[in-house]
Amino acid sequence: MNADTLPDTLLRILADKEVEVRERAAATPLGEMEKRAQDAGKPRDFTGALCNAVAEGRIGLIAEIKKASPSGGLIREPFDPAGLAKAYEAAGAACLSVLTDAPYFQGTPADLVTARSSCALPVLRKDFMIDPYQVFEARAMGADCILLIMAALSDAQARELEDVARGLDMSVLAEVHDQRELERALGLHTRLIGINNRNLRSLRTDLATAEALVPMVPADRIPVAESGLRDPEDVRRMAAVGARCILVGEHLLRQADVTEAARAMVQAG
């Protein structure tokens, strides 16, 4: 990671995150958090759930639960993580993604706990991971997968965070936005490579990003097209270049009938 080249939004988020982690670790020390992670029970198989969906001819949908975002403002109100988890599960989603970042997405760890206990789907903790403490914390709250944003991490940091996740039997989604980040992500063990269509500088989405990068993902990895997917046609665009797994939030969360909208995407492939 090179701080000179990072977009301002990401820099600000990461600086805030450092303070947040320090405060949390002061309240619950690392040793205690490690113990809670060990005692959290077996994780659900996040990667396996995506593979099963694709093997059965469906789109592997990671359906996102978030109240707000920097680009979308307030997205869903009233916000009901339990109801959303059940709706996504009924629609045939393979996995959930739950925002736990408070300052920028109005998320909380409680949203993840509530969503996960309301369904049988594996859950990604969607947050800005910079410290091993957060990985133990993620497992302690029940998360089955963590997100590693390559733009926000050095190679050494990414490796260290992945090692902790692997030690806890969690999956890892490595997120990239350009070829350089993709090459760095391929140095990790994880098979899950997220291609983020959102440019963190402009905050705009462009599906051409995934169209360019998905074909560069080796066959032993699983590309996941992320951000900006609005309808089954967009899903087909991603599947056409080889991404049969997708991560969708805002479009689904703005619908009155979340189940119907999610089902249409799952069946789009």
Ligand X SMILES: O=P(O)(O)OC[C@@H](O)[C@@H](O)c1c[nH]c2ccccc12
Residues in the site for ligand X, rule: CB under 6 A?
64, 126, 149, 175, 196, 226-229, 247-251
- Return the number of the residue (66 or 191) whose C-beta is nearest ligand X: 66
- Return the number of the residue (158 or 248) whose C-beta is nearest ligand X: 248
The amino acid occupying position 25 is A
To the nearest whole angstrom, how small is the minimum distance from the Cβ of residue 32 to ligand X?
27
To the nearest whole angstrom, how small is the minimum distance from the Cβ of residue 104 to ligand X?
8
On the CB side of 28, how many CA atoms lie within 13 Å of its CA? 14
Spatial contact of 142 and 123, defined as CB atoms under 8 Å apart: yes
Cα–Cα distance, 88 to 65 (Å, whole number): 10
To the nearest whole angstrom, how small is the minimum distance from the Cβ of residue 42 to ligand X?
26
To the nearest whole angstrom, how small is the minimum distance from the Cβ of residue 108 to ligand X?
15
- Return the number of the residue (53 or 147) whose C-beta is nearest ligand X: 147
Would you mind telling me the total number of residues written for the chain in this entry?
269
On the CB side of 237, how many CA atoms lie within 13 Å of its CA? 17
| Nearest Cα residue to 43 out of 133, 146, 175 | 146
Cα–Cα distance, 21 to 125 (Å, whole number): 15
To the nearest whole angstrom, how small is the minimum distance from the Cβ of residue 126 to ligand X?
6
Give me the residue whose beta carbon is nearest to ligand X: 249
- Return the number of the residue (126 or 244) whose C-beta is nearest ligand X: 126
Spatial contact of 147 and 153, defined as CB atoms under 8 Å apart: no
On the CB side of 79, how many CA atoms lie within 13 Å of its CA? 21
DSSP H or E run through 147 = strand 145-149
To the nearest whole angstrom, how small is the minimum distance from the Cβ of residue 1 to ligand X?
15
Cα–Cα distance, 35 to 137 (Å, whole number): 10
- Return the number of the residue (131 or 250) whose C-beta is nearest ligand X: 250
- Return the number of the residue (175 or 211) whose C-beta is nearest ligand X: 175
